[in-house]
Amino acid sequence: MIRYLGYEVRLALHPAIWLLPGFLAILRLTGVIQPKSGGWLGFLEVMFPLLFPLLSFSLISQEKNWHTLEVWVATPQRKSISLFVRYLALLFPLLATAVAAVRPEEWLLLLAPGLLLGGFTLAIGLALGEEVGLGAGLSWWGVSFILAITRSELLSRGAARWVLLFPPSVSPQEELLRKWGQLGVGLLLLLLALEVAEHKRSWKRRG
């Protein structure tokens, strides 16, 4: 079992990804970055979630590019378990990055939108193709980002407000609620992605 898990982790991860938390840990230990700094936190809040859809994309596209899906599917192993282990393997370096970059009370701030985007990209990517998934994930992030920096009133009222990843001017209570909501929906989307993976048997061929 341990050996199997080891193989799944190896297949999912490129060792170079560990450079990111290592690099941030060095910057933090040497005082170059201050985890309490508002600018640093704001930067991470916007940029950190981007890593999740990128890694979800890489997880799907490598299975496609290696032409390994058919043999994988034709084994009795449940694909959702394999995919879950691989996704978890990707989350560890991201979790380590958050730990290295900010204080524990800010972990949720970084991880919740990331898990939301990652689960979304994975589910759409498995159902409709990895490029569609990445496009959808990045579009969601991009629209939220543009509306945040332009402080646009568009989508700022009612239920639409909850769709934005970085809404302007929210109370601390609402902010906390939003983050737990994002985390919950992100996990639901991950479950949906795992269910899609169970039924995934081939890739759509390009044009």
Partner 1 sequence: MIKAERLNKKYGRVPALRGITITIENGVFGLLGPNGAGKTTFIRIIATLLPPSSGKASVFSHDVLHNRIAIRKMLGYLPQEFGAYPKLTGREYLEYIAALKAIRRPKRQIDELLAQFHLTDVARRRVTSFSGGMLRRLGIAQALLGEPKVLLVDEPTGGLDPEERVRFRDFLMGLSGDRIVVLSTHLVEDVAMACERLAVLRGGKILYQGTVNGLLDLYRGKVYEVEVLEERTKGKLDAWGDRVLTTKRVDRGRGVRVLGEVEGGRPVSPSLEDAYLALIRS
Q: Could you list the residues that contact partner 1 (CB under 8 A)?
A: 3-4, 7, 10-11, 66-68, 70-77, 82, 201-202
Cβ-Cβ contacts under 8 Å for 40 (sequence gap 6 or more): 33, 34, 101
Nearer to partner 1, 68 or 139 (CB): 68
Q: Whole-angstrom Cα distance, residue 148 to residue 165? A: 9
Please report how close the Cβ of residue 82 comes to partner 1 at its closest, in angstroms.
8
Please report how close the Cβ of residue 81 comes to partner 1 at its closest, in angstroms.
10
**How far apart, in Å, are the Cα atoms of 75 and each of 1, 72, 82, 157, 200?**
16, 6, 11, 49, 13
Nearer to partner 1, 55 or 102 (CB): 55
Handedness of CA 159, 164, 165, 168 (dihedral sign): negative
Please report how close the Cβ of residue 102 comes to partner 1 at its closest, in angstroms.
32
Nearer to partner 1, 11 or 95 (CB): 11
Structure tokens at 183: 């985390």
Cβ-Cβ contacts under 8 Å for 81 (sequence gap 6 or more): none
Eight-class DSSP state of 129: -
Token look-up 């193989």 returns: 7
Nearer to partner 1, 40 or 92 (CB): 92
93 in Cβ contact with 24 (< 8 Å): no
Please report how close the Cβ of residue 46 comes to partner 1 at its closest, in angstroms.
32
Please report how close the Cβ of residue 68 comes to partner 1 at its closest, in angstroms.
5
Please report how close the Cβ of residue 73 comes to partner 1 at its closest, in angstroms.
6
Token look-up 């933090």 returns: 28
115: amino acid identity, one letter = L
